[in-house]
């Protein structure tokens, strides 16, 4: 089982729709969770850090479910510009210096 | 402030040649990662430097790949005897890596094409 897993998609939704996708992680001791966005032929950029209480930034909401070991990203009122690949990242905390691990990404395409 | 920079931005080389890719992280960032990304694929972890700790080389695909980080700053990824399957975008990221800030800041990448 991969340490961090995502549904690769693509998710193809109409503009204005609400879309959500999850990212599961295998190590229950994981701390530090992130969502990154990667546009085509560009580098990934941080979208949101995910806190235990969940957090919201405009149309984007990220949540952490420790019991089921997943994080989620919800996008409301989707825009054409939201089309991108969304990568989740997790620090499994095997040690104080353990590396962040990325999922393989979920492709999102918003259609007019 | 200045972000992560990488050079060259594009590199075309012939099979069998060696290449060096450079990464200049954000000043003061103690963590530095190298990733490889093929077209339409996810990030493939290569190597991770954290402060003075021994680097995590667990992602290097073969002994043709090596990396160093001098003085805790600039890093060079070297690929010896390049093969066509090495063609990809090589991304570098740095991070402050204190307990409250683990965000990775990515450079624009080096696009490597091996003919």
pLDDT tens-digit series, residues A57-70: 999 999 999 999 99
| φ, ψ of residue A104 in degrees (nearest 5) | -85, -5
Count of residues making up chain A:
112
Q: Answer yes or no: do A46 and B91 touch at CB < 8 A.
A: no
What distance, in Å, lies between the first and last C-alpha atoms of chain A? 37
pLDDT band at B70 (very low <50, low <70, confident <90, very high): confident
Q: Kindly state the average pLDDT of the residues A74-83.
A: 98
At A106, is the secondary structure helix, strand, or coil? strand
Residue of B nearest to A96 (CA): B99
Q: Could you give the count of Cα atoms lying within 13 Å of B29 in the half-sphere of its Cβ?
A: 27
Closest partner residue to B103 among A34, A103, A104, by Cβ? A34
Tokens linked to B35: 């990733």
Q: Answer yes or no: do B33 and A100 touch at CB < 8 A.
A: yes
Cα–Cα distance measured from residue B15 to residue B82, given in angstroms and rounded to the nearest whole number: 5
Using an 8 Å CB-CB cutoff, list chain B residues near A104.
41-43
Cα–Cα distance measured from residue B88 to residue B21, given in angstroms and rounded to the nearest whole number: 12
Chain A stretch 52-81, residues whose beta carbon is closer than 8 A to a beta carbon of chain B: none
Q: Answer yes or no: do A43 and B108 touch at CB < 8 A.
A: yes
Spatial CA neighbour of B93 closest among B108, B77, B107: B107
Place of tokens 């990775």: B104
Closest partner residue to A43 among B56, B95, B106, by Cβ? B106
Q: How far is A91 from chain B (nearest CA, A)?
A: 9
Q: Answer yes or no: do B42 and A49 touch at CB < 8 A.
A: no
| φ, ψ of residue B71 in degrees (nearest 5) | 60, 20
At B84, is the secondary structure helix, strand, or coil? helix
Q: What is the pLDDT of residues A80-103, one digit of tens each?
A: 999 999 999 998 877 666 788 999
Residue of A nearest to B101 (CA): A32
Closest partner residue to A99 among B48, B91, B109, by Cβ? B48
Whether the Cβ atoms of residue B86 and residue B93 lie closer than 8 Å to each other: no
pLDDT of residue B71: 82
Residue of B nearest to A5 (CA): B42
Cα–Cα distance measured from residue A86 to residue A64, given in angstroms and rounded to the nearest whole number: 16
Cα–Cα distance measured from residue B88 to residue A22, given in angstroms and rounded to the nearest whole number: 27
Cα–Cα distance measured from residue A71 to residue A77, given in angstroms and rounded to the nearest whole number: 20
Closest partner residue to B43 among A45, A97, A102, by Cβ? A102
Using an 8 Å CB-CB cutoff, list chain B residues near A42.
108
Q: What is the pLDDT of residues B1-56, one digit of tens each?
A: 689 999 999 999 999 999 999 999 999 898 999 999 998 888 999 999 988 888 99
C-alpha to C-alpha distances, A36 to A57, A88, A92, nearest whole angstrom: 14, 6, 17
Cα–Cα distance measured from residue A10 to residue B81, given in angstroms and rounded to the nearest whole number: 36
C-alpha to C-alpha distances, B14 to B21, B81, B113, nearest whole angstrom: 15, 9, 8
Left, alpha or beta for B109 (phi > 0: left; psi -120 to 50: alpha)?
Answer: left
């Amino acid at each position: 089982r991969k340490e961090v897993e995502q549904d690769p998609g693509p998710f193809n939704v109409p503009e204005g729709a609400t879309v959500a996708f999850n990212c599961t992680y295998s190590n229950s001791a994981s701390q530090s969770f992130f969502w990154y966005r990667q546009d085509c032929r560009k580098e990934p950029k941080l979208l949101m850090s995910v806190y235990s209480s969940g957090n919201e930034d405009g149309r984007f909401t990220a949540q952490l479910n420790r019991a089921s070991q997943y994080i989620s990203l919800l996008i409301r009122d989707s825009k054409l510009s939201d089309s991108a690949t969304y990568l989740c990242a997790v620090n499994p905390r095997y040690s104080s210096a353990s590396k962040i691990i990325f999922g393989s990404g979920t492709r999102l395409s918003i259609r007019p | 402030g200045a972000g992560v920079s990488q050079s060259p931005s594009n590199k075309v080389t012939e099979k069998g040649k060696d290449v060096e890719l450079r990464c200049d992280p954000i000043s003061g960032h103690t963590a530095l990662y190298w990733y490889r990304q093929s077209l339409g694929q996810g990030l493939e972890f290569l190597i991770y430097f954290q402060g003075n700790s021994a680097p995590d080389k667990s992602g290097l695909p073969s002994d043709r790949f090596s990396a160093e980080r001098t003085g805790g700053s600039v890093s060079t990824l070297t690929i010896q005897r390049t093969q066509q399957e090495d063609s990809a975008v090589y991304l570098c990221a740095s991070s402050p890596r204190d307990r409250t800030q683990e965000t990775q800041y990515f450079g624009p990448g080096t696009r490597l094409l091996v003919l």
